[in-house]
């Protein structure tokens, strides 16, 4: 084209007026995640300007790990490392399409490089980072937790295209069908 650039998108962001907090509060499939964010002190941040990226495990993810609203309420936050729920929140805005633009084609995820993934250190949990990368074989966006000390990685794919890239006024939300850690795995 002589007068511009044409970008082809295979998945458009889905805009929802309000904040990330508003979005999560009005979606019943995130009631356990919302309760955990409130209990562990992350909830109020999601009404601030951001930008935020939130990987939101749905209630079925909690149920699969035998975690209920009642068990979340009974938890004592000081007994757990920040990785339990802090790893699901990033102080930046990342759409899955951003990862496609950055994709480098190395044959493996490069945790810690800036080429095809987002990786962020978890505040208050010096051994852990979390992020999103693309699996090269299928260009599947995948959420991960990385133990910097041991190099151990726990990962799970993000949900299908219609459940990612929810844009709000202060961030973006991606659904995930898995909770990567149990509370027992995050105890001090």
Calpha distance 143→87 (Å, rounded): 10
- Determine, yes or no, domain membership for 65: yes
Q: Is residue 32 scored above 70 in pLDDT?
A: yes
Residue 75's pLDDT is 98
Confidence of residue 101 (pLDDT cuts 50, 70, 90): low
Q: Is residue 90 scored above 80 in pLDDT?
A: yes
Instruction: Name the DSSP letter for residue 158.
Output: B
Q: Is residue 133 scored above 90 in pLDDT?
A: no
* Domain span holding position 139: 14-186
Q: pLDDT higher for 113 or 41?
A: 41
pTM, two decimals, is 0.86
Q: pLDDT higher for 98 or 37?
A: 37
Average pLDDT over residues 76-94: 95
- Determine, yes or no, domain membership for 174: yes
Average pLDDT over residues 156-170: 89
- Determine, yes or no, domain membership for 3: no
Q: Is 9 helix (H, G, I), strand (E, B) or coil?
A: coil
- Determine, yes or no, domain membership for 6: no
Give the tens place of pLDDT for each residue, 134-148: 876 667 889 999 999
CATH number of the domain to which 97 belongs: 2.30.180.10
Q: Which of 125, 185, 133 is nearest to 155 (CA)?
A: 133
- Determine, yes or no, domain membership for 9: no
Count: domains in the chain:
1
- Determine, yes or no, domain membership for 1: no
Q: Is 107 helix (H, G, I), strand (E, B) or coil?
A: coil
- Determine, yes or no, domain membership for 5: no
Q: Bridge-partner residues for 14, per DSSP? A: 166
Confidence of residue 26 (pLDDT cuts 50, 70, 90): very high
In terms of phi and psi (left: phi > 0; alpha: psi -120 to 50; beta: otherwise), the region of 41 is left
- Determine, yes or no, domain membership for 4: no
Q: Which of 174, 170, 12, 14 is nearest to 92 (CA)?
A: 170
Worst-scoring range by mean pLDDT, 17-21, 84-88, 105-109, 126-130? 105-109
Helix (H) or strand (E) segment spanning residue 147: strand 140-147
């Amino acid at each position: 084209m002589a007068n511009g650039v044409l970008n082809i998108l295979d998945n458009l962001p889905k805009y929802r007026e309000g904040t990330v907090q508003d979005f999560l509060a009005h979606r019943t499939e995130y009631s356990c995640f919302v309760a955990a964010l409130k209990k562990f002190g992350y909830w109020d941040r999601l009404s601030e300007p951001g930008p935020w990226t939130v990987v939101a495990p749905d209630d079925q993810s909690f149920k699969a790990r035998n975690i209920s609203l009642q068990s979340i309420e009974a938890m004592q936050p000081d007994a757990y490392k920040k990785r339990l729920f802090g790893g699901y929140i990033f102080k930046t805005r990342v759409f899955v399409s951003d990862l496609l633009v950055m994709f480098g084609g190395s044959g493996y995820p490069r945790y810690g490089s800036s080429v095809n993934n987002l990786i962020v250190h978890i505040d208050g949990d010096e051994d852990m980072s979390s992020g999103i990368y693309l699996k090269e074989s299928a260009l599947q966006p995948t959420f991960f937790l990385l133990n910097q000390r041991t190099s151990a990685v726990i990962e799970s794919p993000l949900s299908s295209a219609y459940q990612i890239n929810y844009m709000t006024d202060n961030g973006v939300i991606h659904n995930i069908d898995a909770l990567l850690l149990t509370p027992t795995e995050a105890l001090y």
